[in-house]
Structure 1
Amino acid sequence: MDSKATNLPPICRFIVLTAAWLSGTAWSADEEAYFSELPIVASVSRLPQRLADAPTSVTVVDREMIKASGARDLNDIFRLVPGFQTYPNNTESARATYHGMGDGDYSSRVQVLIDGRSMYSPLFGGGVNWATLPVALEDIERIEVVRGTNAVSYGSNAFLGVINIITVDPALARGTSVSTSYGNQNVRDYVFRTGGKIGDVGDFRFTYKQQNDDGLTNRYDWVDSYFSRLFDFRADFALSDRDSLQVSAGQADGVVQNGRMLLSHGLWVSNPENPLRDMRQSDSYAQLLWRRVFSPDSDLQFRYSYVVDRSDDAFTISNLRINQSGDEGVRHELEVQHSLKLANTARIAWGGGWRDDAMRSDWSLPGMGDVHRSVGRLFGNVEWKPVQWFTGNAGMAVENDSLAGMHLAPRLSSSFHLNAENTLRLGYSRAYHTGSTVDYRGQQKAFGVSYFNARPDLMAAESLETFEVGYLGDWRDWRASLDVRLFSERIRNRLYKIDMDARTNLAGNLIGLSTVPIQDVDIQGVEYQFKWQPFDVTRLIFTQTLANVSSQYLPSALVLTNSSLTTSKAVQIQELTDRSMPTCSTSVMLMQKLPLGLEFSTAGYWQESMKWSTNTTALRYHRIDMRLGYPFRTGGLAGELAVTVQSLNGDHNEYKWTNPGDATPNGRIVERRQWVSLRLDF
């Protein structure tokens, strides 16, 4: 180490080493000229890489984009990412899916990480509950979205992609900030954040945030509202010139409405068989992340996280307590990762992890107490750069699941740098996706009737083979970039909850469900994102996805379900699969700095129709959002006054519209929402 650097305080020496490692000093000076304007990402191979070297496409959503989008809810951000679909929190939990396949209450095929911690919960169907993610938009530094399977790096939940949320370094959050937002639909938001030093070697950041609104318009047989509250704390310590420790903890609570109303004598009243009630949910966590930097080319990380999820929407029918959403899920997770330079032309990131998931539910796992599930995995990714014009990536992961067995996930990718502005990428990967704990162990019964029976003997894991061709253009003279991804994704043994004995209840709905493989699915298409900054004060982002989903039933499906896949039911399920993503979706965002210090942004979203459930349709829509902000500074006080309007162009449907002819229409209508925000920084 340089003698001058050794005279710095420990925290400064650690920052110097970290910056040198992330800047890729292991690469030659000639290579630094390549793609110097493109961001460095670490979410694909777990190695910090330029986008031109990464084995698949990545969309980076930075703080400026998050603010300019005008989003209040995190899942709303992903409208700006090619291939993603999302809808607002309402009587059912918000979802964000990539390339469809978003059936179920909580999507489970895209891994969501916050500072390396998985947001997947054994309680919520092995999926993500967007209502209780313990992170405030104000604390997000950037989001790296891996558009394509990444099970080789992050396990079976990264089946179709990864959302990696990276929060702000506490050293950059000094002082105190308070903000509030007031608007129609009872929008009432409050944020308090403070940060500072901890002695000579640490920094901390604490955030409290509360959100409230009346949700989507009350139409027919449901009532919508949303309340959330979170506490989040993070502290970073430089223990020595080589060692750092990150400590974080927090809790998020969310309350939404469950239940339905019933038309009785011309009046809408609470349905006694599904009464209106609060669904209360929470996520509490603690995490330790220790890192040692051996050199600019090598480091070791150890992470431990503890997460508890709880949910409750209990109600009583005929003295029977029903709590379909609860009760508790607990996760312990350990992970170690070592990154190092193997030679002048190669680097590797490898490691392993273990987690224990425990779930307890009187409804889904009656009489079983805590049901445990342990998963161990080993992973490795190698980057090879023998010459300036070529980058090769290879990875392999093996995962052993106490409920689902052992699976391998390989990946190969080759990037050809045609010149300093153009890269062509070819890639192949294979991944696996397993069911939830309830899928393997669940037994749901009420009033003597079986609603769900796990059949682990029939639970083959889903497999995914992906072939892709990518192009990345970095046209620095034009201050523009273009990322194109052509993909062919084949899912075998698509899992679905289907009736196994063809019995029906009084309402004609199939009962006695089990999760079994029923389909093979093909997803093919192209997606691209174009970014252009023609002037220092103007930034334009355009994305589009064109895709086709097709499916066919497995020959074994009718045998497994004893012919319960009747013609009408089979058509419904196949239509749900084939329309689980729109054939075309487009987004565009303009960010413009105006005279007098004003900042203007507008975003437009266009989406063809799709289906989130078998008996409903999300209609084709377009939506325009707008934000106008005025940052100010007076003496020691700074802040911003802003006005935001969502759905500026008027009402539309994004989530659910019942099929024509239904006796009770049940649409979810997104109306114009506007609010004024004030932030003060001290």
Structure 2
Amino acid sequence: MALTGLVASNGFAQNEDNPFFSDLPIVASVSRLPQRLADASAAVTVIDRDMIKASGARDLSDVFRLVPGFMTYPNNTDAARVTYHGLTNEDFSPRVQVLIDGRSQYSPLFRNGINWATLPVALEDVERIEVVRGTNAVSYGSNAFLGVINIITVDPALVRGVSVSTNQGTQGVSDSTLRVGGRVGDAGDFRFTYQQKNDFGLTDQFDWKDSFDSRLLTLNAAYWLGNSEQLQLSLGHVEAVTRLGRLARIDVNGVKVLSGGEDPGNPFRDFDQSNTFLQLGWRRILSAEADLQLRYAYTQDRGSEDHVELGSDLSWNGNRALRYRVDAYGDVGDRHEIEVQHTFAPTAATRVAWGAGYRLDSLQSDSYLPRHDTAYRRVGRIFGNVEWRPAEWFTGNFGVAGERDSLAGGNFSPRLSANFHLTPEDTLRFGASRAFRTGSTADYIGVRLITPFATAGGVPIPPGQVYRHKFLGDGDMAQERIDTVEIGYLGDWKAWRSSLDVRLFHERVPNRMLTVERRLPLSVACDVPVYPGPCVAGAADFTTAVQRVAIQGLEFQWRWQPREGTRLQVGQAWTAISSAFLDAALAGGVTTLETAGNRDRISRLTRESAPDSASSLLFMQRLPGGVDFSLAGYWVGNMKWTRNSSVDFYRRFDLRLGRPFNLAGQRGELAYIAQSINGAHGEFKSSGEPSDRVVETRQWVSLRLDF
């Protein structure tokens, strides 16, 4: 279990006499202090184990459809993304921080984003998820930009015996899971999980094929050195293979038709990915109100999609078709991180959590760092949160964090909130914060060159004779900034067994960063001593500030448990995004912005990167005979994931029926799950495609046996 999870679990233990505590639990993800939701400085959605099971989710990314303001789509030939309030376009969603037991999942290899295909946790091992809806750089660093997903796994002390399970269903669904838990000596516990997942992906549609395979191994252990001191160990490895590529096609009278074979510019290949991690934690309880925690984590991400593409180039003897070797996300990214945190109560009305961390990232990439054997990045950070509760009717929270990045420079992130408890059941919250997002290592020092090695006919090209820039980093690139003001209301109506959480927000990003093409001075375009030869490129992609963006809206989540065995949760988000281009971007030689069509596409991407309206519903009911029934429903408005994609309004309903059993001492559960029971719909469509990423009904049977 995570150190933050350990703190939170202590908070739960103090509230076991509350019959509705499961709906309004103690949370620790906002300020790193265990707090009532009514005292927290941000809106939080808590997803417990029952909700995860009832949602019918097979992939962790699917679970966040239940969170107001969050958007996702199924893992397919495009990497799954989980976003909050839009600002999409990047492949691996770098604006929402994801933690597993306190360990950040941001990867140097995947452009400081999250690769959900190799997230090293099985759904069966998740105890609960705390989702902070809003920036939280104060607690978790500069890239906790729009929100934080804190995944807390099951305490090894709660896992005993052996559990095996399998899923078998349509679209090639074939999963197997083995979980074992037990004691380690007189004062320790362990949890071991092995899982493999396979599917054919979404049904083959027009010019692409989809499949996914993964294998996961994790081990978690905890050992008490005494009544007040604990050691924790987590380690694991996950590897996944995703199918990429397209079939060849041609345009016939404005209609795209298949022409046979693979697309030579985007051939079929396997994208091999893996994640390996180790985490060590130490915690000492100093008193009822104080503890000291130390955590070290190491993570390594690997990837490879090495393949040959046929491209065009007009500069080498007039030859328009050349062969290039491409491996966009290939090679290795490593991260070492150490963090210390001290929690204490200096007065009866005040609690403090403060600490410091140091991170060392390294990246090897033949695609983005051809001049570097290994690129290193060092980040130091201090943080502090103070909770002040001088009276029953008021809770104040103040937090600050300072960060120094060897590539991005420094930043300072403050947050202030005031919670007024109008009654024991009604709280009004006012908050303001500032946060930053730093770019990836490649954004600062990357140099991606496209160098052909042969003509289309296979004639070798002498090394260094022709090349062109694809991407250039900018060492002076600014950090993306967000300023947020919000008003929140929390109602906890125990007599009605119901709660309501409302958030009204205004988020302003004065320098939205985007990768665009910029014209290069001839001296820059040709100054690549590693690749001598004639210069052929006058432009390259850069990541730079492009727009001023304002995001405003209203969201709520309502929960109701009218009686035991019945639960209802409803979420709704209304979001409006506006933008304007920065004068510096328009005048800075950004060729992407020189045409009205491109400017319109970028503006639409920003405005429509979150739907105007999105709703979710989860209904859970215990039926006669001990059958668990649940229905999840989603209504998602028009939106865009990328400049050249579109998503029409869609509805989706997922169903689950489960029957726990105990036959002659053999315990387990048999379940039937069906996703998109209302039929096919699109969740990611490339512009101009006849059909793309159509989600059809997927169903499977799940069997679990516990020994």
Counterpart position of 1:321:
325
- Identify the range of structure 1 (447-456 vs 115-124) with the bigger mean alpha-carbon deviation: 447-456
**Alpha-carbon separation, structure 1, partners of 2:591 and 2:56:** 49
Counterpart position of 2:214:
228
Query: 1:22: Cα distance to partner?
Result: 3.0
Counterpart position of 2:580:
552
Counterpart position of 2:644:
615
Query: 1:561: Cα distance to partner?
Result: 2.8
Query: 1:523: Cα distance to partner?
Result: 0.3
Q: Given the superposition, is the C-alpha separation of residues 381 and 18 from structure 1 closer, same or farther in structure 2, using an over 3 Å criterion?
A: closer
Say if 1:106 and 1:124, in contact at 8 Å, map to a contact too: yes
Q: Given the superposition, is the C-alpha separation of residues 468 and 120 from structure 1 closer, same or farther in structure 2, using an over 3 Å criterion?
A: same
Counterpart position of 2:698:
673
Alignment of 1:451 with 2:470, yes or no, is: yes
Any residues of structure 2 matched to 1:616-635 within 5 Å, and which? 616-635=645-664
Q: Given the superposition, is the C-alpha separation of residues 41 and 18 from structure 1 closer, same or farther in structure 2, using an over 3 Å criterion?
A: closer
Q: 2:554 aligns with which of 515, 526, 530?
A: 526
Counterpart position of 2:416:
412
Q: Which runs of 5+ in 1 are unaligned?
A: 1-13, 504-508
Runs of 4+ in structure 1 deviating by more than 4 angstroms, as ranges, are 17-21, 31-37, 264-267, 317-320
Alignment of 1:79 with 2:65, yes or no, is: yes
Query: 1:666: Cα distance to partner?
Result: 4.8
- Identify the range of structure 1 (209-218 vs 187-196) with the bigger mean alpha-carbon deviation: 209-218
Query: 1:241: Cα distance to partner?
Result: 1.1
Counterpart position of 1:390:
394
**Alpha-carbon separation, structure 1, partners of 2:416 and 2:249:** 58
**Alpha-carbon separation, structure 1, partners of 2:565 and 2:226:** 41
Deviation string, structure 1 residues 261-294 (Cα, Å, up to 9, x no partner): 1037964311222210000000000000100001
**Alpha-carbon separation, structure 1, partners of 2:546 and 2:130:** 33
Counterpart position of 1:347:
351
Any residues of structure 2 matched to 1:271-290 within 5 Å, and which? 271-290=263-282
Deviation string, structure 1 residues 184-237 (Cα, Å, up to 9, x no partner): 100001000001000101000000011111111211221111111100100011
Deviation string, structure 1 residues 355-410 (Cα, Å, up to 9, x no partner): 00100000111131110011100000000000011000000000000001000000
Counterpart position of 1:429:
433
Say if 1:195 and 1:206, in contact at 8 Å, map to a contact too: yes
Alignment of 1:269 with 2:261, yes or no, is: yes
Q: What is the aligned length?
A: 653
Q: Given the superposition, is the C-alpha separation of residues 266 and 588 from structure 1 closer, same or farther in structure 2, using an over 3 Å criterion?
A: closer
Q: Given the superposition, is the C-alpha separation of residues 213 and 36 from structure 1 closer, same or farther in structure 2, using an over 3 Å criterion?
A: closer
Q: 2:499 aligns with which of 481, 485, 490?
A: 481
The amino acid that maps onto 2:492 is: D
Query: 1:540: Cα distance to partner?
Result: 0.2
Q: Given the superposition, is the C-alpha separation of residues 226 and 600 from structure 1 closer, same or farther in structure 2, using an over 3 Å criterion?
A: same
Q: 1:403 aligns with which of 404, 407, 414?
A: 407
The amino acid that maps onto 2:374 is: D
Alignment of 1:126 with 2:112, yes or no, is: yes
Query: 1:320: Cα distance to partner?
Result: 4.4
Alignment of 1:570 with 2:599, yes or no, is: yes
Say if 2:125 and 2:154, in contact at 8 Å, map to a contact too: yes
Say if 1:141 and 1:167, in contact at 8 Å, map to a contact too: yes
Any residues of structure 2 matched to 1:67-466 within 5 Å, and which? 67-263=53-249, 267-317=259-309, 320-447=324-451, 448-457=467-476, 459-466=477-484
Say if 1:501 and 1:564, in contact at 8 Å, map to a contact too: no
Query: 1:563: Cα distance to partner?
Result: 5.1
Say if 1:232 and 1:248, in contact at 8 Å, map to a contact too: yes
Partner-residue secondary structure (3-state), 1:574: helix
What's the TM-score once normalised by structure 2's chain length? 0.90
The amino acid that maps onto 2:40 is: A
Say if 2:20 and 2:494, in contact at 8 Å, map to a contact too: no
Counterpart position of 1:501:
519
Say if 1:376 and 1:399, in contact at 8 Å, map to a contact too: yes
What's the TM-score once normalised by structure 1's chain length? 0.93
**Alpha-carbon separation, structure 2, partners of 1:57 and 1:91:** 33
Q: Given the superposition, is the C-alpha separation of residues 33 and 141 from structure 1 closer, same or farther in structure 2, using an over 3 Å criterion?
A: closer
Partner-residue secondary structure (3-state), 1:128: coil
Q: Given the superposition, is the C-alpha separation of residues 237 and 558 from structure 1 closer, same or farther in structure 2, using an over 3 Å criterion?
A: same
- Identify the range of structure 1 (316-325 vs 604-613) with the bigger mean alpha-carbon deviation: 316-325
The amino acid that maps onto 1:616 is: S
